[in-house]
Chain A
């Protein structure tokens, strides 16, 4: 395992991404929008394909990162904002809305992607990179963009944390009290989409959700305020990403995105086991105390 400049760059980028994904994921999970990020991730494929075709048609080249990013963000955002109104329809519900939109956008994305691949200058074998990411290909420019995104996301979270928590805990109370629920939901969706799109290169459309939600789910196992939960999720996300990159380098065969996801899932499993053990111990202690009380 060698630590060249590129390795350090990838380590820094992935750790940073893991941290912001974990903190945003905390609020997404609290608002019960976990699977909306899955919808956004899968819908991004369509945007990438459309971006590529548009870039080619406009003569600026289909591989221009800006065109691809804008395309991915547009369709991811569109799909994400369609979930709540569709879910509110009677007889559709959350599950139905999420399943339909995820499959619909992904199917459409696959159709357009096959068009891209049949295109003269279309990417060869690019599909697997999009599905599982290619963190090792990270450039200096990518790291810079990630850093800018992190600053933006963290300021937005600091600014909106109280509002996000109020709405997530009880939407009805918030609406009656005049809290701007729609604006806050819009902001949360925008954050979610930014993180998902930024994570496409690192983890791909399928696994990016794991980086967003697994650290947040792990952090929630410890009782705390939502701010502390978000900080803990950021630490866990950063650690998992860092560990994942190292594991990927060490084995040389596991893709970085998959390794990060696996490390994150392992931390979750360990935390879950620890929580179960602790509650068992405290229950046993209580039982012993009760028996002693009875004897006394």
Chain B
């Protein structure tokens, strides 16, 4: 974390990005453009099948078909920025019977930095342990991963990304199948990371949670329907368009603003003032 973070360079700039699985499925997400500001909480939200996870995987080059358009990470290609980017998959995609402890999984985050072919030294073990402490899992560091609760398993995956010292975390449905206590805990962890200057981009399905805790909501339904602070981008009319049904009733209970969304797909939404961001950076530095 002692790298000087350049907040002027956006962690992720997406322009006219289209991706899909190739073959008959063709393009799932078409012509997406958005820019993330560093140290912010960003949600990708939208109906099932709208392409939320596909977009995330497409940006990270994890789809079989080559995407079109551009995605620049920290001002360059993904290849140049791999050390600063980490993917946190859906918990359901992991085999939790894999022979490993929580510490073993966190240490996998160091695979590249510490050299895949070298033994993990004391420094590596310490870094993995610190990552577990950040997500409040130090007490179960030596527990087998299969014995952890669902919420703990999700946080182990976040710890692995932290051990890698990633500045941009892309999370696929981290709140899926989590009970409210586990969700609150994970959310608090992610918010703390954002305050410390890391950028969060999470696929989410819960409108209320995104409204309450995220700086930015990108609504996806085959394309970017709306993009901006949740108060604007999650308005009733936008959601009606994205989900194909009128969610106004649901939306009003979640304090919908009266303003209609300004669907700006290229603007950098920067919910925090420069001042508070600078403060966040100072506090990060103070923690070192």
A contact set with B: CB distance below 8 Å: 26, 30, 88, 90, 159-160, 162-163, 165-166, 168-170, 172-180, 184, 220, 223-226, 228-229
**Cα distance A257–B23 when bound, in Å?**
46
- Give me the 4 closest cross-chain CB pairs, A-B, nearest first: A178-B82, A163-B116, A223-B144, A176-B87
Q: Give bound CA distance, A88 to B22, whole Å.
A: 12
A169 to B146, CA, bound (A): 13
- The CA-CA distance from A73 to B89 in the complex, in Å, is 36
Taking a contact as CB atoms under 8 Å apart, the answer to whether A177 and B111 are in contact is yes
Main secondary structure of the interface of A (DSSP, over half): helix
Query: B62 contacts A169, CB within 8 Å?
Result: no
* Chain A residues with CB under 8 A of B64: 88
**A225 touching B99 in the complex, CB below 8 Å, given contacts A88-B64, A178-B79:** yes
CA distance A118 to B54 in the complex (A): 56
A280 CB to nearest B CB, Å: 17
Cβ of A176 and Cβ of B120 under 8 Å apart?
no
Interface residues of B (CB under 8 A from A): 21, 23-24, 57, 60-62, 64, 78-79, 82-83, 85-89, 93-95, 97-101, 104-105, 108-109, 111-112, 116-117, 119-120, 144, 146-147, 160-161, 164, 170
Q: How near does chain B come to A72, taking the closest CB pair, in angstroms?
A: 29
Given known A-B contacts A88-B64, A163-B116, A223-B146, A177 and B100 have beta carbons under 8 A apart:
no
Enumerate 15 A-B pairs (CB-CB under 8 Å) in ascending A order.
A30-B98, A90-B21, A159-B117, A162-B116, A162-B120, A163-B116, A168-B98, A173-B87, A175-B62, A176-B60, A176-B62, A176-B78, A176-B170, A177-B86, A224-B99
B123 to chain A, nearest CB (A): 15
Q: Which of B60, B95, B100 contacts A165 (CB 8 A)?
A: B100
Chain A: which residue is nearest B105 at the CB level?
A: A169
Residue of A nearest to B60 (CB): A176
Q: Which residues of A contact B62 (CB under 8 A)?
A: 172, 175-176
Please name all residues of chain A whose beta carbon is closer than 8 Å to the beta carbon of B87 when the two chains form the complex: 172-173, 176-177
CB distance from A51 to the nearest CB of B (A): 33
Contact A165 B116 (CB under 8 A): no
| Known A177-B85, A177-B87, A179-B112; further 20 A-B contacts with Cβ < 8 A | A26-B99, A162-B111, A162-B119, A166-B108, A169-B105, A170-B89, A170-B93, A172-B60, A172-B62, A174-B111, A176-B82, A176-B170, A177-B111, A178-B79, A178-B83, A223-B99, A223-B146, A223-B147, A225-B99, A226-B98
Shortest C-beta distance, B177 to chain A (Å), equals 18
- A166-B116 Cα distance, complex, nearest whole Å: 9
A223→B120 CA distance, assembly (Å): 21
Q: Which residues of B contact A162 (CB under 8 A)?
A: 108, 111, 116-117, 119-120
Min CB distance, A166 to chain B, in Å?
Answer: 4
In angstroms, Cα B119 to Cα A194, docked, is 24
**A174 to B94 CA separation, bound complex (whole angstroms):** 13
Q: Are A173 and B79 within 8 A (Cβ)?
A: no
Nearest CB in chain A to that of B142: its residue: A225
A176:B105 contact, CB within 8 angstroms: no
Q: By the criterion CB–CB under 8 Å, are B116 and A226 in contact?
A: no
Chain A's closest residue to B114 (CB) is A162
Closest CB in chain A relative to B69 CB, distance in Å: 19
With contacts A172-B87, A223-B147, A225-B104 known, is A177 near B164, CB below 8 A? yes
Q: Bound complex: CA of A248 vs CA of B144, how far in Å?
A: 39
Question: Which residues of B sit under 8 angstroms from A169, Cβ to Cβ?
Answer: 94-95, 98, 100, 105, 108
Contact A163 B99 (CB under 8 A): no
CB-CB under 8 A for A176 and B144, given A160-B117, A169-B108, A224-B99: no
Does the CB pair A173–B86 fall under 8 Å? yes
Residues on B with beta carbons closer than 8 Å to the beta carbon of A160: 116-117
Instruction: Kindly name the residue among A166, A172, A176, A220 whose own CB sees the greatest number of chain B CB atoms within 10 A.
Output: A176
Q: B161 — which chain A residues lie within 8 A by C-beta?
A: 173
* CB-CB nearest in chain B for A228: B99
Cα distance, A224 to B119, chains bound together (Å): 18
Known A176-B60, A176-B62, A177-B164; contact A170-B111, beta-carbon cutoff 8 A: no
Least distance between B19 CB and chain A CB atoms (Å): 15
| Distance in angstroms between the alpha carbons of A39 and B57 in the assembled complex | 31
Task: Select A177's contact among B89, B112, B146, beta carbons within 8 Å.
Answer: B112
- CB contacts (< 8 Å) of A90 on chain B: these are 21, 23-24
Enumerate chain A residues within 8 angstroms of B120, measured Cβ to Cβ.
162
Contact of B112 among A159, A178, A220, A225 (CB under 8 A): A178
A3 vs B98: C-alpha distance when bound (angstroms):
42
Of the residues A159, A173, A179, A225, contact of B160 by C-beta under 8 Å:
A173
Q: Output the nearest chain B residue to A159 by Cβ-Cβ distance.
A: B117
Given A172-B89, A225-B101, A226-B104: A177 in contact with B117 (beta carbons within 8 A): no
Alpha-carbon gap, A26 to B144, bound state (A): 17
A173-B108 in contact (CB<8A): yes
